[in-house]
Structure 1
Amino acid sequence: MKGLAFRKLSRTSSHRNHLLRNLVSSLFEHERITTTVAKAKEAAREAEKIITLGKRGTVQAGYGARGYLYTQEKTLPKLAELAQRYSQRPGGYTRIHLFGNRQGDHAPRAILELVDGPNDLRLQMTARAIARETFNRITKLGTDSLREGRQFDAATLEQDERFNEVTRTNISKVVRFGGMEAREKLVELAAEHLLRLRATAALEGQVRVDDERVASWADNRPRGRLLTKPMRGHRPWAGQERADQPPPLAGKTKNSVIRLGKGVFAKRQNYRTAPSMPQYARSG
């Protein structure tokens, strides 16, 4: 509702205060919690304030943080650790990831986490993007021109033009305040995931029709012109181009993610390019 300074969360003032204190205490203890989007946004505001109090280091600020947190034997040492971690960061200590809807009431869920942590989701997702783009480049060239242990340069990772622009932007975000330690962690995760991609491709092979399964159907095989054949091999990612996919539509240079997801069904002629129905003169 407009005009309100914060979300009431359908609770009384005291209940809301205890709820947020519990969420912030759990966030400091585990560095990642799952809750609804509304609660995550309010808990993130409070967590930012408590971390700022911890960074001040004064007696009065310590009393304020101590009076807010629960399970102080766990959260207070963690607050001191977070104050040291974010000493060079001016703000933005939390991050919210949308996490689908909750079963039952279908409430939108979110993951609330502390940034630059040992299990930072954005760091892991960026490392996987780096490995995936490197793997695709190696597959496309046909030869592995990169030497083992020298796939990525930690010092100039965000300036590497071999990666997409979005990937380079995410690299800059995750290593901005982490220093060389964050860069080395990112390179380590990327190299590990690249090795996993190579092993998966070697075991499962390229995407191909499962001829053995089709032959096992015998007389019980499904009928129909638009039969989707079972596939074997490494599953493609969303938006990945393959040789067995339909060509782009007229006037397009590449297929959209939706058209790639349609598979064989995307081979049907688009209604915009289909010949128009014959027009009949109206009587009267």
Structure 2
Amino acid sequence: MKGLAFRKLNRSSSHRNHLLRNLVTSLLAHERIVTTVAKAKEAARQAEKIITLGKRGTPTALSSAQSYLFATGESMPRLAAMAKRYAERPGGYTRIHLMGHRKGDHAPRAILELVDNPTDVKLDMTARAMARETDIMLRRAQRNVSLVELHTLLAAQPNVPLERDERFAPLTRRNIAKLVRYRGDAARTELAEKAAQYLEQLRAAENVEGRWRDDTARWDAMELSRPSRGRILTRPKVGQRLYAGQLSPEQAARVGERAEVAQPIRTRQGHVSPTRIVTASKPSVVRLSKGVFAKRYVRKTRAVPARALP
């Protein structure tokens, strides 16, 4: 079953080998390529083997790598640089990111990249997650901090590594741990700097455009020009647009809050409490695109009587 999807393309073995050699050569030259998922998986396997030959460094290994790669004048120096970069890493030199579907034949695309490259996609996305979570944390604390304080806030705490910082979500901490495992303090510093930069961009975009809200001025103008539009028309929006399924910063900051609501609730002992404690959760249905909705998995939170709390 290995590479079965790639072998179904009715290519001859020589064509397939030349295609993979070309992909691996381009990956070493540019450190990132965009191709289909099947090709990315096969090219990743071959790239791992070629980099291992480069790390081995014997004349036989280098001769085998040179016979596989194209444009050896440029590829072999790049292979030597990769062998030096991954000298302490036992394996796992490539990473695959899914990238939607290709326009036309709708083939699934993927980004195949070498790890620890100067424009690492995983490091960039982890820094963005750190910035969003810090923004939500500041909104919960209702704090407005300066740019200098933002850099200090995202820096690692004394005696606490960045990958063990409880201020970030467990998935974010797991991704940080993967990035700093072989790169150490250099990756921690780069993550903190990029996260602070993205947090500044979030704050600046909100100050300039404002949050995603109804454009009341435009709506009033439309009602004056054509008052019989009806109530089913989607109101025009203005401000910073949210991604599909994304919560606004105000909504995300309220998730997990506990508030006392004046609604009776019957306890297990049969008593009736006049108020209950309700935990704010994410909405159960999110809008993916125009007319397309999806159900979000929400952990059920049971309301408890207010007097039962300590």
Q: What are the superposed Cα offsets for residues 110-163 of structure 1, whole Å, 9 maximum, x if unpaired?
A: 111111111110100000000111112212322136824312234611111111
Asked if residue 210 in structure 1 is aligned to residue 237 in structure 2, the reply is no
1:262–1:44 Cα change, 3 Å: closer
Q: Number of matched residues?
A: 261
Q: TM-score, normalised by structure 1?
A: 0.82
Runs of 4+ aligned structure 1 residues displaced above 6 Å come to 3-6, 242-245
- Partner Cα distance (1:191, 1:243) in 2: 20
**What are the within-5 Å matches in structure 2 for residues 126-205 of structure 1?**
126-144=126-144, 147-154=149-156, 156-205=161-210
Which region of structure 1 is more displaced relative to structure 2, 101-110 or 126-135?
A: 101-110
Match of 1:220 in 2: 226
Match of 1:22 in 2: 22
Provide the identity percentage. 49
Please provide the CA RMSD for this pair.
3.0
Per-residue deviation, 1:107: 1.2
| Structure 1: segments with no counterpart, 5+ residues | 267-284
CA contact 1:239–1:257 (8 Å) conserved in 2: no
**What are the within-5 Å matches in structure 2 for residues 45-124 of structure 1?**
45-124=45-124
1:184–1:257 Cα change, 3 Å: farther
Per-residue deviation, 1:91: 0.8
Per-residue deviation, 1:31: 0.6
Match of 1:231 in 2: 237
Match of 1:269 in 2: none
**Greater strand content:** 2
Match among 240, 249, 271 for residue 247 of structure 2: 240
1:262–1:57 Cα change, 3 Å: closer
- Partner Cα distance (1:14, 1:243) in 2: 57
1:149–1:259 Cα change, 3 Å: closer
Q: What are the superposed Cα offsets for residues 81-124 of structure 1, whole Å, 9 maximum, x if unpaired?
A: 11111111111111111111112211111111111111110100
Q: TM-score, normalised by structure 2?
A: 0.76
1:17–1:231 Cα change, 3 Å: same
- Partner Cα distance (2:71, 2:151) in 1: 44
- Partner Cα distance (1:32, 1:222) in 2: 54
